[in-house]
Amino acid sequence: MTPKNETIADIARLAGVSKSTVSRALNDSPLLSLETRERIRALARQRNFQIHVPAQRLSRKESSTIAFVTHGYHMDFSVADLFTLEILSSISRTLSEMRYDLLMVHVTPDDCEWAAKYIDTGRADGFILMTSTHKTDHIKALLNMNAPFIVWGVPQPGYSYCSVTGDNFTGGQLGTRHLIGQGRRRIVFLGGPADELEVQGRFEGYRAALQEAGMLFEQRRVGYGNFSDTSGASIMRYLLARNPDLDAVFVNSDLMAIAAMDVLREAGRRIPEDVSVVGYDNLSIAEVSNPPLTTVSQNLAIAGRQLARNLLQYLQDGVVTNVTIPVELIVRKSA
């Protein structure tokens, strides 16, 4: 029914040259005379020739595809994955510009074999790791089997691998400074998991900002959640109970911040009149929340591009990059 696809051999016959020459023409080989190259390319274009990629991959021994790996199937995607979704957008764009395909892969925490199923089978050349749970285990497994990858997040000290991360210290500092600048003095820190390096960085920034303003740090002003909206709500309640006098809260994610604002409102606090809140990430929901959220932007467009580019670079010449993306405060209504 559909006319069988043409191959490089067909084009060669039509052009009166060898397959090698066609291949070279299509691949911009410097060996060819400009004239033959153009002649062949024109012919290919005219016949709407599309090269057969699996054959190319077999021959070149590379898959020209990158796997984007996120958490497993036990949880479905939800708002909680908005961060992943937004960064995916820019990774995908960059990869496509560089003529790479993007595969979606979901790993379950207990699976340690997944990497081989992609690398050794030649289905992917490398991984972009977005998974948060058991991240360290996955990283060790990948290092162990010598699989190329890059991860979003602060690199584990003592290991060498590619990473890109936000500037968590500055982020914490920027958010807290802004709150202080608004005249707030009883600023609470609503963090992600206490054991994550990202969270620790933001906390240090928070502390530094207090200190440079000559303000006292108090342990009772800090609480840790797990980035989810439910934890945002419950930790906010906890913090509110321990700090009835609070006048601002610096939250480690937009999702938690939005949940926290609901809690505050239920407790009769007006935002930002009674308490200012600043979030983290500048996801698309931050714009449409009520009130619109002041937040620390991680610039996911740049982050995604770096993740893609640097992984490809590593694939090419083995240079391991660790980059940290600058953050920026986006001021809206909530603080």
Report the interface residues with DNA, using CB under 7 A.
Answer: 5, 7-9, 16-21, 23-24, 26-27, 31-34, 36-37, 51-52, 55-56, 58-61
- Say whether residue 277 binds a copy of itself (CB under 8 A): no
Q: Considering beta carbons, is residue 13 or 93 the nearer one to a copy of itself?
A: 93
* CA angle, residues 286, 289, 290, in degrees to nearest 5: 140
Query: Is residue 86 within 8 Å of residue 236, measured between CB atoms?
Result: no
Q: What is the closest distance, in whole angstroms, from the C-beta atom of residue 31 to DNA in the complex?
A: 4
Sheet holding 222-224, edge to edge: 222-224, 187-191, 248-251, 276-281, 294-297, 328-330
Among DNA, a copy of itself, none, residue 78 binds (CB under 5-8 Å by kind): a copy of itself
Tell me which of 34, 35, 45, 104 binds a copy of itself, using CB under 8 A. 104
The span from the CA of 287 to the CA of 273, in Å, is 19
The H helix count followed by the E strand count for the chain is: 13, 12
Q: Considering beta carbons, is residue 47 or 270 the nearer one to DNA?
A: 47
- Say whether residue 96 binds a copy of itself (CB under 8 A): yes
Residues 24-83, interacting with a copy of itself (CB under 8 A): 48, 50-55, 57-58, 63, 65, 68, 73, 76-82
Q: Name residue, tokens 């707030």.
A: 184
Tokens matching residue 335: 């603080």
Tell me which of 123, 140, 237, 269 binds a copy of itself, using CB under 8 A. 123
The span from the CA of 145 to the CA of 122, in Å, is 15
Among a copy of itself, DNA, none, residue 284 binds (CB under 5-8 Å by kind): a copy of itself
DSSP states of 77-118: --GGGHHHHHHHHHHHHHHHHTT-EEEEEEE-TT---TTHHH
Query: Is residue 225 within 8 Å of residue 190, measured between CB atoms?
Result: yes
Q: Considering beta carbons, is residue 5 or 78 the nearer one to DNA?
A: 5
Binding site for a copy of itself (CB under 8 A): 1-2, 5, 48, 50-55, 57-58, 63, 65, 68, 73, 76-82, 85-86, 88-90, 92-93, 96, 101-106, 116-117, 120-123, 145-146, 229-230, 258-259, 262, 283-285, 288, 290, 301
